[in-house]
Amino acid sequence: MASRGGVSFYRDLLYKQVVDCDGHPVGAVLDLAAELPGAASGHPAVQRLVVRPHRPRPAAGAPAGRYLVLAWEAVEALEPRCIRLRQTRTELAASPLEAGQILLRKHIMDQQVVDCSGLKLQRVNDIAMDFADGALHLWGMDTGMRGFLTRLGSRWGLFGLLRPLHERLHQHLIHWDFVERIEPARGHIRLRLSRDEVRSAIRRAPAPTE
C-alpha cells in the first residue's frame, strides 16, 4: 500500500478494526478527518481517526456510547487486517476535531463533483490515498466504475471474484489538487477546472499500481 493512489479509503480503511499496541480491540474506523482544500499545498494529510469504540470508555476523555477521535500520530501501522496504534487502549487520549477539517465519509464519499462552472460530473465512489513515511495523504477521488466495484466487492466480500474486471478498468481519478472547495450544504465538491480539462487530465493519467 505504498504506491501513489494505492490505498483505497473504502477497501483499506473504512470500518477497519483498530487495535492497540498489544493487539486489544479499540473499535472500528467510522471516518477520517483531513485539512480543507486550500489549507495546505499539495495533497492534504489525514489528521484524525473517528472510531466507533468497542467499549463504553476505551480512552480517557471519550464520552460513553459515542465515537472516539484520535490523532493520526497515534497510528503505528496499517496492517492487512487492522490499524495498529502506538499505545495501549487505557493510555489513549481523545483528540477533538478542528474547525478546518473535513470528514472523508461525510463530506466526500457519494458527493456530487461539479466543475468550475457548476456543471455536474460524477459522484465520488472511493478516495485514493497515498501512505508513506507514516503519513496518509489524499491523492484523488475515484468517480468511475472501478471505484464502484471496489465498494461492491468490499461490502459483499466479492472483491476476489471481481478483481479480474476491476484490474482491467481504468481508474477514473480526479486528483485532489483539482479541488477548489467543499460545499457540504449543497452536497457538492467544486473543482477549479472545466469539465473538458478534467476529462483530458483523467485520460492522460497513468494507472496506479496496487
Cα–Cα–Cα angle for 45, 48, 54, rounded to 5 degrees: 145
With the CA atoms of 55, 61, 67 and 70 taken in that order, what torsion angle do they form, in degrees rounded to the nearest 10?
Answer: -110
What cell was used for 179?
479541488
Q: Does any domain span residue 209?
A: no
Let me know whether 43 and 32 are in one domain.
yes
- Residue 1 inside a domain? The answer is no
Model pLDDT, residue 111: 96
Residue 61: predicted pLDDT: 46
Q: Domain of residue 181: give its range.
A: 102-204
* Same domain, yes or no: 128 and 140: yes
Q: Are 110 and 163 part of one and the same domain?
A: yes
Q: How confident is the model at residue 51, as a pLDDT?
A: 96
CA distance 104 to 141: 11
In order of 23, 37, 81, 127, the CA distances from 184 in angstroms are 37, 13, 32, 17
Adjacency order of strands within the sheet including 188-191: 120-123, 112-114, 188-191, 179-183
Do 56 and 33 reside in the same domain of the chain? yes
With cell 487495535, the residue in question is: 19
- pLDDT at site 56: 53
Statement to judge: residues 39 and 71 lie in one domain: yes
Question: Who contacts 119 (Cβ-Cβ below 8 Å, separation ≥6)?
Answer: 194, 195
Same structural domain, 146 and 75:
no
Between helices 145-156 and 159-168, what is the axis angle to 10°? 170
Residues 160 and 177 in one domain: yes
Q: 76 — phi, psi (to 5°)?
A: -90, -45
Confidence at residue 114, expressed as pLDDT on a 0 to 100 scale: 97
Query: What stretches in the chain show pLDDT beneath 50?
Result: 1-3, 58-64, 156, 165-166, 209
CATH of the domain at 147: 2.30.30.240
* Same-domain check for residues 148 and 179: yes
pLDDT for the residue numbered 170: 62
* The total number of structural domains that make up the chain: 2
191 and 107 belong to one structural domain: yes
**Bridge partners, 63 (sequence order):** none
Q: Which residues contact 80 (CB under 8 A, 6 or more apart)?
A: none
Give residue 145's pLDDT: 73
Q: Report pLDDT for 156.
A: 46
> Pick from 57, 83, 101: which residue ends a domain?
101
| Element counts in the chain: helices (H) and strands (E) | 3, 15
69 with 129, same domain: the answer is no
Same domain, 27 and 94: yes
> What pLDDT does residue 40 have?
53
Check residue 110 and give its pLDDT: 93
- pLDDT tens-digit readout, 71-106: 999 999 999 899 999 999 999 988 889 888 999 999
Residue at 190 is within a domain = yes
Last residue of a domain, one of 68, 101, 134: 101
Residue finishing a domain among 56, 76, 101: 101
Co-location of 21 and 70 in the same domain: yes
